[in-house]
Structure 1
Amino acid sequence: MSAIELAAENGQPVTEDLSQSPLAIRGMTVSYGEQPVIFSIDMTVRPGEMTAIVGPNGAGKSTLLKAALGIVKPLSGRALMHGKPIAAQMDRVAYVPQRASVDWDFPTQVLDVVLMGLYRELGLLRRVRARHIAHAMDCLRRVGMEDFAERQIGQLSGGQQQRVFLARALAQKADLYLLDEPFAGVDAATERAIIDVLKALRDEGKTVVAVHHDLSTVPAYFDNVFLINRRRMGEGPVAEVFTDAALQATYGGRLAAGQAGLTAAG
């Protein structure tokens, strides 16, 4: 019997059971200055599936992820992982930020970047051992970057840098992967490599949530979609929610030419 059913049977106030969701956001409001960037957002991510966060520029997509992770402080709201505060479970979460937000001039090698994904295991003083290097190299192999292990990160192309940051996320062996526009500014080969890795994670039972801007690839890449324009505009399986009507409402009639008619349900 679920917690909700037990509460109802005992005459107690019925509360929402979020124990099955790897990421549940409730009442999230974030403001930069006086104007809210996102307002009272509720989101419930389904386990073992891939979810796209979709909306126009300035809709608050990246802000929603950052608020859930505590990178930005919300005015109100909370983020839960299987019903418990996500802040206490960050060892189970991997985050890949926007590539544009990273200082690529920092002098470090590719292998060292991936090893950063093991910081919780290594700690501040623990020595990097052969098994750590082997694990990091395996993660680089998964993204096709094993031959670049000794290259300076700033010498790589944008697509290669994105693959390295995905490898760093893989090194964390997380249950929940949050990615902020992982396909932005990458070449077609890199996009295929990244989506193959993300789908493999899903097939392993992991949960993937990604801010995504290319509407044409949503039906092929994702199981679920979360539509946002400062507020929650829609959420659910792509086949049910990713419709032309829902997108027109989300984008306020500002869909670019050729973007309409690409949805799952028409």
Structure 2
Amino acid sequence: MLYDGSIALDAASACIPRGSMTAIIGPNGAGKSTLLKAVLGLEASSGSALVFGRPVAEVMDKIAYVPQRAAVDWSFPVRVIDVVLMGAYRQTGLLGRVTPQLRQHAQTCLERVGMEAFATRQIGALSGGQQQRVFLARALAQKAELYILDEPFAGVDVATEATLIAVLKSLRDEGATIIAVHHDLSTVRAYFDRVLMLNRRTVAEGTVATTFTPEIIGRTYGGAVIMAAAI
């Protein structure tokens, strides 16, 4: 896969088990976000992806995607509750009526991320951590089976990070599959079951216990200094 004329990903592959929580880990420019977008069909790719054994286009209703905050236009004049309801558009249709049941479902999703008191607030008036909680609530509204998140903990406060990881772990415990780009190596063991170590190609993939090791971290980042600081 090319990006700005250079290879962003080459021979990157993974097989993520259902009901697991996987971190995609690698240095800046390793192709982590590009991999997610390629899987979702948001970036052109020569490769292929199957979700639950089927082409991604056939199971998009089972996938919820939370992009990086920097990719969102936060100036758009919309209320928090309306953002969450966007996650239920497959149930309403783009022009469908929002039923009281759907509105209550959206409110329940906000409660799950601790944002129920902000339902009528403009999304642009929230802090970065609050915005990230709302976008996770929107994903929850989809009732997905696979949650794909691009740097969900970037730039959020400690309380928000704790809330987000608690919700993601509860989704995993309910049978959902979680895949997230993650940068903080110090929290990998506490947060995730599995890792995909990536640096424009797959360096290693497997459980945290067997794969998130000093040797593999060093190979992924290309240096022992980062490895020593991470373990």
- Which band: TM-score by shorter chain? over 0.9
Count of matched residue pairs = 231
Per-residue deviation, 1:124: 2.3
Residue 146 (1) aligns with residue 86 (2): no
**Ranges in structure 2 where 5+ consecutive residues have no aligned partner:** none
Match of 2:214 in 1: 244
User: Which of 145, 160, 174 is the matching residue for 1:204?
Assistant: 174
Match of 2:139 in 1: 169
Match of 1:36 in 2: 7
Equivalents in 2 of 1:254, 1:113: separation in Å?
A: 43
User: Which of 99, 102, 113 is the matching residue for 2:72?
Assistant: 102
Structure with the larger strand share = 1
Which residue type is aligned with residue 143 of structure 1? V
Match of 2:203 in 1: 233
Per-residue deviation, 1:255: 4.7
Q: Secondary structure at the match of 2:12?
A: strand
Per-residue deviation, 1:259: 2.1
Asked which structure has the greater CA Rg, the reply is 1
Structure with the larger helix share = 2
Match of 1:183 in 2: 153
Match of 1:22 in 2: none
1:186-211, Cα deviation, whole Å (9 max, x unpaired): 00000000000000000000000000
Per-residue deviation, 1:232: 0.3
**After superposition, where does 1:58-137 map in structure 2 within 5 Å?**
58-74=29-45, 76-137=46-107
1:183-237, Cα deviation, whole Å (9 max, x unpaired): 0000000000000000000000000000000000000000000000001000000
Per-residue deviation, 1:254: 6.8
**After superposition, where does 1:249-260 map in structure 2 within 5 Å?**
249-253=219-223, 255-256=225-226, 259-260=229-230
**RMSD in angstroms over aligned alpha carbons?**
1.1
1:45-78, Cα deviation, whole Å (9 max, x unpaired): 011010000000000000000000011111x110
Equivalents in 2 of 1:116, 1:191: separation in Å?
A: 23
Match of 1:220 in 2: 190
Equivalents in 1 of 2:78, 2:8: separation in Å?
A: 35
- Name the structure, 1 or 2, with higher relative contact order (CA <8 Å, separation 6+): 2
Equivalents in 2 of 1:52, 1:168: separation in Å?
A: 21
1:121-164, Cα deviation, whole Å (9 max, x unpaired): 11122111100100000000000000000000000000000000
